[in-house]
């Protein structure tokens, strides 16, 4: 599989407001779907049954909807953050449960038979945040939130899984993966026991 990561506004492609003769006046949703479809078609012509996963980072909800509507859903998947309004997870503002943008994108993908991977953050990408690996409840809530949405087929850690010596976050993830239906208190006791 291949993960295509759309980073920053206009995906590092020419701006539709710039001087490029190919891009001037052409919005991103008229350019990026063609690229994604060409990349996916090329992957499939190589004889491999692979999926092109697209992560729409820092694009507006409207751009993502317009682009998602134009991609070929065959062998295509979507990777989403738990919030379309911010990129930072540590503050757990409950937006994940109420973010209608995320729910809309997951639903739209489901209706087009596009699988979704839900991202979560285990490390808070240290050293940018001065927090240790001590937020197992947040890991649990992120996992449960993705689990509750129809069309989400798996999860992806956001920045990279590299716990130092022992991480209660990694322990919670392992415990949740083994028993995704278990209540939080039971898993917290299990993680705390050692």
Would you state the pLDDT for residue 88? 43
Would you state the pLDDT for residue 91? 44
Give the three-class secondary structure for 120. Answer: strand
Would you state the pLDDT for residue 172? 92
Are 60 and 76 contacting, i.e. CB atoms less than 8 angstroms apart? no
Q: How does the average pLDDT of the chain come out, rounded?
A: 82
In this structure, the number of other CB atoms found within 10 A of the CB of residue 114 comes to 23
d(CA 7, CA 11): 5
Mean pLDDT (whole number) for 105-116? 96
d(CA 14, CA 28): 9
| Each residue's pLDDT tens digit, 54-81 | 998 777 788 889 999 999 999 999 998 8
Would you state the pLDDT for residue 89? 47
Mean pLDDT (whole number) for 2-6? 83
Would you state the pLDDT for residue 116? 96
Residue 97: closest CA among 154, 155, 143, 151: 143
Give the three-class secondary structure for 101. Answer: helix
Tokens 């820092």, residue?
58
| Each residue's pLDDT tens digit, 15-48 | 778 888 888 888 888 888 998 999 999 999 997 7
| Each residue's pLDDT tens digit, 131-168 | 566 788 888 888 888 898 999 999 888 766 665 667 78
Tokens 């240790």, residue?
132
Half-sphere exposure (Cβ direction) of 189: Cα atoms closer than 13 Å: 5
């Amino acid at each position: 599989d291949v993960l295509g990561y759309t980073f920053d506004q206009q995906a590092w492609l020419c701006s539709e407001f710039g001087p490029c003769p190919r891009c001037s006046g052409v919005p991103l949703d008229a350019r990026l779907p063609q690229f994604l479809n060409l990349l996916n078609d090329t992957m499939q012509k190589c004889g491999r049954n692979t999926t092109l996963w697209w992560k729409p980072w820092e694009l507006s909800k409207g751009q993502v909807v317009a682009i998602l509507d134009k991609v070929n859903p065959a062998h295509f998947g979507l990777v989403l953050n738990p919030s379309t309004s911010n990129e930072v997870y540590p503050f757990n503002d409950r937006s994940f449960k109420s973010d209608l943008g995320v729910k809309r994108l997951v639903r739209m993908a489901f209706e087009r038979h596009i699988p979704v991977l839900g991202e979560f953050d285990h490390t808070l990408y240290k050293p940018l945040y001065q927090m240790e690996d001590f937020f197992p409840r947040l890991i649990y809530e992120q996992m449960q939130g993705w689990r509750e949405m129809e069309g989400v087929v798996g999860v992806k850690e956001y920045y990279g899984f590299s716990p130092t010596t022992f991480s209660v976050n990694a322990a919670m993830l392992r415990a949740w993966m083994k028993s995704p239906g278990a209540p939080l208190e039971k898993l917290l006791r299990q993680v705390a026991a050692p």
